[in-house]
Structure 1
Amino acid sequence: MALFASLFIALFMFSTYQTSALSSNYYDKTCPNAEYAITKIVRDATKKDSTVPAALLRLHFHDCFIRGCDASVLLSSKKNTAEKDGPANLSLHAFFVIDAAKKVIEDLCPGVVSCADILAFAARDAVVVAGGPYWDVPKGRKDGRVSKASETSELPSPTFNFDQLQHSFAQRGLSTDDLVALSGAHTLGFSHCSSFQNRIRNFNSTHDIDPTLHPSFAGVLRSVCDDKNKGKNAGMSMDPSSTVFDNTYYRLILQKQSLFQSDQALLTHPKTKSLVNKYASSKEAFYKAFANSMIKMSSITGGQEVRRDCRVAN
């Protein structure tokens, strides 16, 4: 799951987004059972497919970092190529979970709960079902009407250095603390070889392998991503416990066994290095920081309507 392979749009400065006043009790009277219904769907889907939590969390990230959390990543479009069809988003999946949730919610309370809110709830539930922290999701997002694959062309590469990552987050009003905490989402999921191939062959004019990558781990990656495996969906789990939301990701960074160059870049700045050490030694500290940063990120809004069908604008 290459979350940071798809998180940044240079075309849209943070000022483009709105941080509207969301509410914890937005649906208390209009759709009080919405969250319960969505939680059940996420849990049931995860029982059938353990990759669902990583996929839902990734969908939410990819949505929020383009036009704000407006469910534009869910749209299909006849006018242009939609976000989800952009090269960086082709590996997104678990759309069926959001479709199923929307159907149930529309039966409960038609035209009330936005797809953006459903996606935000589902991402939270995905983390919880994988063993991570719970947080109260702010509610009241609206859905967008526009989705363009062209806007995903400048999403951050896994090769980003610290300055590039910091700039990406700052444009969305997210701090360096948020950067490190939200990077912990890389504890879930799977990455294709293309996202870390640069680190294991022809790294630069001096080194064939990225010197910040542990040599023995580099050997494992080279074996997995050998030419004979091309076209076979080759890749690696983000960490050995890739279906469990824990703090293993940070420990791997300290061991020089993170997959992405952008992950390892968190050790190149004193503040982020300190936070990596903190979260590697304290799962509780990571959970608290992650929940707070997710609330902050998911409060970046930008939609205009409540879609009846998450795949098409009204």
Structure 2
Amino acid sequence: MARVNSDFYSLLLISSLLLASHFNICEAQQGLSLSFFAKTCPQLESIVRNHLKKVFKQDNGQAPGLLRIFFHDCFVQGCDGSVLLDGNPGERDQRANIGLRNEALETIDVLRGLVHKACGKIVSCADITVLAARDAVALSGGPDFAMALGRRDGVSFSIEKTKDLPGPSSNTTVTLTKFAPKNFDATDVVALSGAHTFGRAHCGTIFGRLSPQDPTMDKTLGNNLKATCPSATSTNTVNLDLRTPLVFDNKYYIDLLNRQGVFTSDQDLVNHEKTKGLVNSFANDQNLFYKKFADAMIKISQLDVLTGNQGEIRNKCNVVNKKQSILSSVVEEMVEVIDRF
């Protein structure tokens, strides 16, 4: 009996060491990489882009919708797909996430289905969200850039951290303060604000600038917006970029120089000493804007990501998988070993 116990505990020790070694190797090998799916799902990016081309032909408003979902996911608790999760309430039910497009959320899950059918369940909803945002920009005339992949999906969401999202009524000082803890500087903030070069705003998010009219807003723009948004409860929407509302370009910054920014957070960029020079630079040099925007997108896409054995690969983007933990599997194996003695 003593020999049996000795053998069992030796086996248990070896198994534990091997298991720990396996986990450590996996963690080391499974970080983000530009070639993460090169062998296991080489067609991933073409699947995503080809489908989005079809989607945008039918509904080009989904492009800014997908970009907003990406930002509102990554800024809360990292790029883990938490904003995609249903809740009662969840992140999407919070004030900062009002207006996230249901059609764009559905598109992300359709992409998941296409990718999983082609490659198996190895690509996370978080990675698909990142690729969809990048392609939304590129397919709308903006820069195209590589994004490292290998994220895992989170198994929880954070209502509290949605309060960290910068709001449309914030001035530049507040916006910079919101970004600072995540190591984003003024260049990042002004470049990412350029995402408002396409997309639309709900009346409720801008009415505070209309009644009474914000003196920093162009009077003609103000009158036009009042006609579209007679009250804060109006269900109408307005273009964020007056000049080229469906194209991802630098015309947004020209809007700002002409006092035609729709949100307070946009227009105030020309008044702050840390950001006004950047607005001018981006208005005069679209390629510079594209470069800085791509740099900031890559930076935000790598915020607090889950990799290796963290999180999971969701079977559906809006719900977590059934909880079958690694620990429970190990325990079951140990029980089988014990039963042999």
TM-score (norm 1): 0.87
In structure 2, C-alpha distance between the alignment counterparts of 1:105 and 1:149, rounded to whole Å: 29
Contact in 1 for aligned 2:197/2:245 (Cα 8 Å): yes
Residue 91 of structure 1 aligns with which residue? 99
Task: Give the alignment partner of residue 257 of structure 2, picking from 254, 266, 269.
Answer: 254
What is the CA-CA distance between 1:90 and the residue it aligns to?
3.4
2:80 corresponds to 1:70: yes
State the superposition RMSD in angstroms: 1.6
Contact 2:122 2:313 in 1 (8 A): yes
Equivalent residue number for residue 310 of structure 1: 317
**Partner of 2:142 in structure 1?**
132
Match of 2:240 among 238, 241, 244: 238
Report whether the alignment pairs 1:196 with 2:200. Answer: no
Deviates more, 1:191-200 or 1:303-312: 303-312
Percent identity, aligned pairs only?
40
Are 1:143 and 1:305, in contact at CA under 8 Å, matched by a contact in 2?
yes
Which deviates more, 156-165 or 44-53? Answer: 156-165
Matching of residue 82 in structure 1 with residue 84 in structure 2: no
Regions of 4+ moved over 6 Å: none
Q: Residue 35 of structure 1: which of 14, 26, 45 is its match?
A: 45
Letter in 1 for 2:42: P
How far apart are residue 242 of structure 1 and its match?
A: 1.5
Verify the 8 A CA contact 2:96 2:167 in the aligned structure 1.
no
Cα distance in 1, alignment partners of residues 159 and 52 from structure 2 = 27
Q: 1:91 to 1:233 in 2, by over 3 A?
A: same
Counterpart pick for 1:108 among 95, 107, 118:
118
Deviations 1:119-142 (A, max 9, x none): 000001111110100010111111
The Cα shift of 1:247 comes to 0.7
SS of equivalent residue, structure 2 residue 312: coil
Looking at secondary structure, tell me which structure has more helix per residue. 2
SS of equivalent residue, structure 1 residue 310 = coil
1:88 partner amino acid: A
Matches within 5 A, 1:293-304: 293-303=296-306, 304=311
Distance 1:247 1:146, change over 3 A: same
Higher relative contact order (CA 8 A, sep 6+): 1
Structure 2: gaps (5+ residues): 1-29, 322-341
Q: Which amino acid aligns with 2:266?
A: D
Q: Distance in 2 between matches of 1:251 and 1:110?
A: 46
Q: Out of 219, 226, 229, which is 1:225 matched to?
A: 229
User: 1:220: how far off?
Assistant: 1.4
- For the pair 1:271 / 2:274, whether they are aligned, the reply is yes
Find the counterpart in structure 1 of residue 329 from structure 2.
Answer: none
Secondary structure (helix, strand or coil) at the match of 2:201 reads strand
After superposition, the Cα gap between the structure-2 partners of 1:268 and 1:222, relative to the gap in structure 1 and judged at 3 Å, is same
State how far apart, in whole Å, the 2-side matches of 1:277 and 1:87 are.
Answer: 32
| Residues 5-62 of structure 1, C-alpha deviations (whole Å, 9 max, x = no match) | xxxxxxxxxxxxxxx9521111111111111101111111111101010110011001
Structure 1 distance, partners of 2:198, 2:214, is: 23
- Looking at structure 2, the residues matched to 168 and 178 of structure 1 have their Cα atoms a distance apart, in angstroms, of 12
- Retained in 1: the 8 A contact 2:72–2:165? no
Find the counterpart in structure 2 of residue 155 from structure 1: 165
1:13 aligned partner: none
TM-score, structure 2 as length reference: 0.80
CA shift at 1:231, angstroms? 5.3
